[in-house]
Chains A and B, each alone.
Chain A
């Protein structure tokens, strides 16, 4: 009964390819997020969606495009992958302000 599930867990791809990471939550939360964890383990927010509406869009290259078909799903599509995109990408969801986030298990993306 996974609360926040991401697929795939691992993704190895060549430079220039386009790839997608899917995220689904069954917690009934209104808000979902994408975070990037770099090689030094630093976690930085990329996007947040509240009830399918984009709320936060940090300084992320426009090769990254989030899509939220409904409030339980938030997918991340990446065009023209670059070596520097290699990282772990976490999806998360949250209920009302003041609560912590529930994270997915992460997707390790390796661009070769």
Chain B
């Protein structure tokens, strides 16, 4: 079973602040993903990476950015948080057999 960690679990922050959501995995997976999920709703892919120095935007337009300097680390950054960014953010990594393993999520509230 993959170990994938996200911090913080919960974050309440004011409008205009810069935030970074952390995601780390210890399984050496090359592929990693960020999803945005509103409560009780489907997951929307916002960023993904196929390996170090590889990042791509997903289906859902997002004002966030990501980086992949190390295999195990895939942080997501919002330069200026807005109330519309309030959501749950889920990080995942993928094995060679296509199943994705998910972190516990970060629930972000922008006031």
Specify whether A and B are partners: no
Residues of chain B touching chain A, judged by Cβ–Cβ distance below 8 Å, are none
